[in-house]
Structure 1
Amino acid sequence: MEQEKSVGVALVHLVSSALWPLVALLAIFMFKPYVETFLTAASSQVQKASKFKVGQVDITVSENALPKAPLRVGKIIPQMDNELMEYVLTTDPSGTHLNCYEGGATTTPSELADDGVLTRLQAMHMLTVTKLPKNYKDDSGQRCEGAVKVDYDQLFGETRTYYFDVLKQMKFSESK
């Protein structure tokens, strides 16, 4: 009788040790949607941050805080080098800009050369450059030997706004 009892106990232990993994798997599959929702919510709360040092300044950028670039801007930005980016950031695109230069029609200012900033931005459909007649006189009475009128397209403004939105998400602190 005692031997039957120990065989029974051994059988119960065998079944329970083989059964618990099945019960655990069943529970995981039953609660899978809830577990996924929890893990997704938890992971969105954890922000990936990159920190780098420039001179005496630490700069931290949170990947989750960065704005998503509008489609057209996202296609333009990879084409922009430092010179174009600086021009976009430092130029107010409101209104029409008149650029006067010396030499009239016989010289071309560097920004209008084939590889110049205005020429490249015009090729990217970010602005329109119109050459004005020699000795052009603007509204204020200023006479220009040579001049161009620059009208900024909507894409220029959108790109500029996006650059500033990215910069606003950066956190700057003194390096220790």
Structure 2
Amino acid sequence: MSTNDESQAADAPQRKPQWEESPSAPLINGLKYGTCGLGILIVVGLLVWWPFKGMPGLWGALIGAAIGGSFILITVIAILLTSKASPSAVMAALMGSYLVKVVIVIGVTATIKNMDFYNKPALVSVLIGAIVLVLGGELWGVMSTRTTYVDPDETTGQ
């Protein structure tokens, strides 16, 4: 590479990664922050409930995080997977994923309802925490993503 090529490369503006320029960048950041929030909650939930209630506390925290976190994160994943599809396909994917999530949650809770290997307060507290933290993380990721937008030109009517 010549010195002229090196100076041109140094003067060129730094390009953002491809995902930061895409319209789905806010959703990707929301997924990233939501997943990080869920990971932090799992660690905190285990640090609180495992020493306090032993193995039932551990299982309650893990089940609560799995149910609460997956319920919210699957929605973002479904939107990302169908982002280039038609609006009716996106709606079908969202409604289908919601139906599958509800059936799974009802099935899991009905199955473990009378079991005693987990602590119910641990499950409920971590489940509520997962919903709040994952939604908050996703909101933060979407709201903090800088995206390019263009206002329509009022003089041309476009």
With the shorter chain as reference, the TM-score category is under 0.3
Larger Rg: 1
TM-score, structure 1 normalization: 0.24
Greater helix share, structure number: 2
TM-score, structure 2 normalization: 0.25
Greater strand share, structure number: 1
**Structure showing greater relative contact order (alpha-carbon pairs closer than 8 Å, 6 or more residues apart):** 2
